[in-house]
Structures are given as C-alpha cells and as structure tokens.
Amino acid sequence: MEIRQLKAEEYEQSVSLSEYAFQYTLTPEQKEERKERFKPEQFWGVFEEERLQAKLTILPLKVYLQGKVVPMGGIAGVATWPENRRKGHVSQLLGQALKAMKEQGQSLSFLHPFSIPFYRKYGWELYAEYKNYIISSEQFPPKIEYPGKVVRDIKDISILNKLYQSFASCYQGTLVRDEEWWKYSVLDHTKHSAVYYSHDGDPQGYVLYELKDKMLVCHEFVYLNEEARGALWTFFSNHDSRIEQVKLTMVPCDDDLPYMLPDPRVIQETIPYFMARIVDIESFIQQYTFEAGNSSELTIQVEDKAAPWNAGLWKISINEQGQAKVIKTMGEKEEVQPDLIADIQDWTALFLGYKRPEQLFHIQKLKGQSQKGKELENLIPKAQTLLMDFF
C-alpha cells in the first residue's frame, strides 16, 4: 500500500471513485471541463498496485479570522470503494493530510462531515451553524421607500465580491472568495442576483435567489446597512403576484430579523454545518489576537492523538497588545502543572468563538482552575462564526 499525491494521468480513476461514492454521473462535456481544472497535487490517495483505493482533496483556501486573512486547508471529496471500507484507509489519509497541511502553513482545516462523530475522532469539531427561515407573504417586513435603486441580475463578480468581503470579514471562519470560486462554486445558471445601490450609486447589499413554484429561495442575503436590507426585502415583496413564501438559507446565527417582523412566528431552524480543527496550535496562537489591555500567562494542556505535535503543555504569554508568545514545555521534567486542559476539538471551538470558555468549563469540556477559566473568558474576543459556502 502506498499513500501519495495523484498524477495527472490518474484523473479518470479519481472521477470514477467520486461518481461511485457520491452517486452522480458526469456527462462527457462535464468530465472534460473538470479535467481542465484538475490539480493532481491537491489530491491524496491510497494505492495498491497503482490502483486508487481511497482518496481525499486538500483545497488551499483562505478564511477570515479576526478580520485577517489566514490560510486554511479544506478537506473535501473523502471517498473509498465499498470493498475497502473499515480497512483504515481514510484514517491514514487524514493523518497524511494533517502533516501536509502543517508543512504548507495551513494552521486551520475545515470540512463538511458525513458523520460528526467520525471526524471528532480525528480532532475536527463543529464550528459553524446557520439558520433557515420560511416567511409567508403576510409576514414579510413592511415595504419601505428607499432613496436608491435595486438592479436585478448583476453579473459583475467584482461588485458582489466587494460587498461579500465587507460582510464576511466581520465573522469568523468565512471563506475568502476569488473569481474562480465565485464562478464555479457560488453562481450558476439557475440563480438570479439583485444589488441595492444607494442614492449616491454605491452598492450596499445583494441577494442571490431563485424562484421555485410559489416560493422565492434566497441563498445569500448580504447587506451593509439597514437601508439595504429594507430595500432588498421590499424587492422580494414586489414579487407578491408570483410567490407565497420566501425561504432564506445560510442566515448568520446572530441575525435578528424575526424580532423585527410584525409577526415573528415564522418557521426557523438552526443547522449544524461545518467542522474545523486547529492543525498547528503553535502557529495558530502566534497569529491570534487576544483582548488587549492586560498581560497574562497561561499554561494549557492540549490533547491531540491525530496530530501529536499539538499534544502536550503550552505556555502562553500574552502582552498588553493582545499578542502571544507560545512555548511548548516538557511538563514532567519541569514539573509544570496546566492551568487549563482540553482536547484539540474544544480548543478549536473556543478560539474560533463558536463556544465561550465559561460554557466549556460549565459542561466540563474545559477543565482546570476556575479562576484561569474566568481569565481566559476575558482574553478571548467575542465573535460569531459563519460559513456561507460548501466544498
């Protein structure tokens, strides 16, 4: 058995495994189109006698973290032939992927799980969820008079992306999109777009949506201010001769729309979505910004079976500007006792802002000195996680 990156001539093997595992069939035209964009260096496979037995993809992506752009390894396309299930192939691939991402400077990794318990065994943890709304026409927000204008079916990616960047960079873990991502992963032929321009002609928000029977399905609702939100909702309301409901998907969990409605009893659901894991905790903490104002020192213990370079005791020294220095200690020799203890999953959820230190301490996912737990609560900036993409 051999674990290695794929070669260009192994494209057909890769496609065949994907089609079988994910139950779809590409047309000859689709195969040729994807072949042109095939990047074999992003694919890792388990081979036996040069036959592909299992594979995964590491996408070299970037995400917003505390308003900064950081590299992230996106795990996708994890697949194995059914006769090879439970042979440990995926486990070995994930171990190789973690090493590769560390070498490539990707201190974070995201994936969409087929099974949350399965990926928790390898250190990934839920970090993002989103809300869906279904709002009937009689529950729509009131129509407003707005000074600007809504322009439908805008195709200029640069306009959409500028609005997206302003919106997404306020959250933790949102994807940085380039033109190729917009073209192949966001926009398609079935979706409409609409952009709100202010009275001065500045784009202030956009929606991506489609019409299905008597429902308008909105896949992205991005706005920079309440004027834009109200104008775009009025645009939706003006479809009243064609629709009976609006379904909003990928809504951030800090959204307050129901509270603003005349009748807030709309259908709402919260969907657990993507998982994340810190690949290299030393590199991650060095680029992390804690709350400024007070210097502090913490010794944390990290448990991480899948990435042993993370496991152990780490001394974190934080200056008044919120910047940290990290040193791995040899606990047994120096007789250092940890202030706080958690596994890599919970450290990931905590540092990304998905869960607060006090929450994790209360449910005994974070253990140690309660006073240090309170100290960490004051050091971790409050943040909201979000991911509006899929891979």
CATH number at residue 153: 3.40.630.30
Question: Could you tell me if residue 388 is inside a domain?
Answer: no
Per-residue pLDDT reduced to its tens digit, 38-57: 999 999 999 999 999 999 99
Domain of 328, CATH number, reads 3.30.1050.10
Residue 182 lies in a domain: yes
116 in a structural domain: no
Residues 76 and 144 in one domain: no
Q: For 117, list phi and psi in degrees, rounded to 5.
A: -60, -35
End-of-domain residue from the set 36, 71, 106? 106
Q: Would you report the helix, strand and coil content of the chain in percent, each value rounded to 5?
A: 30, 35, 35
Do 78 and 156 share a domain, yes or no?
no
Amino acid at residue number 282: E
Domain range holding 350? 280-379
Query: Among 376, 226, 361, 227, which Cα is nearest to 288's?
Result: 376
Amino acid at 370: S
- Minimum mean pLDDT among 51-55, 66-70, 188-192: which range? 188-192
Which pLDDT band holds residue 294 (cuts at 50, 70, 90)? confident
**Burial of residue 312 (number of CB atoms within 10 Å: 0-12, 13-18, 19+):** middle
| Average pLDDT for 56-77 | 98
Q: Are residues 358 and 292 in the same domain?
A: yes
CA angle 306, 312, 318 (to 5 degrees): 115
91 and 136 part of one domain: no
Question: Do 75 and 163 lie in a common domain?
Answer: no
Asked if residue 38 belongs to a domain, the reply is yes
For the chain, how many structural domains are there in total? Answer: 3
123 found inside a domain: no
The predicted model gives 233-239 an average pLDDT of 97
Pick the more confident residue, 336 or 216.
216
So what's the pLDDT on residue 334?
A: 56
CB atoms within 10 A of CB 54: 25
Band (332; pLDDT cuts 50, 70, 90): low
- Tell me, yes or no, whether 140 and 239 share the same domain: yes
Both 101 and 220 in one domain: the answer is no
pLDDT of res. 331: 53
Closest to 8 measured CA to CA, from 33, 48, 37, 51: 37
Q: What is the average pLDDT score of the chain?
A: 96
- Identify whether 386 is part of a domain: no
Q: Are residues 259 and 290 in the same domain?
A: no
Asked if 385 and 172 count as a contact pair (C-beta separation under 8 A), the reply is yes
- The answer to whether position 118 is within a domain reads no
pLDDT range class, residue 365, cuts 50, 70, 90 = very high
Q: Tell me, yes or no, whether 48 and 170 share the same domain.
A: no
Last residue of a domain, one of 61, 89, 106: 106
Q: How confident is the model at residue 188 (pLDDT cuts 50, 70, 90)?
A: confident
Look at residue 86 and tell me whether its pLDDT is greater than 90.
no
Tell me: do 7 and 82 sit in the same domain.
yes
Instruction: Choose among 96, 29, 105, 44: nearest CA to 73.
Output: 105
Counting residues of the chain whose pLDDT is more than 70, the rounded percentage is: 99
Q: Which amino acid is at 157?
A: I
Residue 83 lies in a domain: yes
Same domain, 258 and 146: yes
Mean predicted confidence (pLDDT) in 256-276: 96
Residues 266 and 286 in one domain: no
Domain end point (choices 272, 306, 326): 272
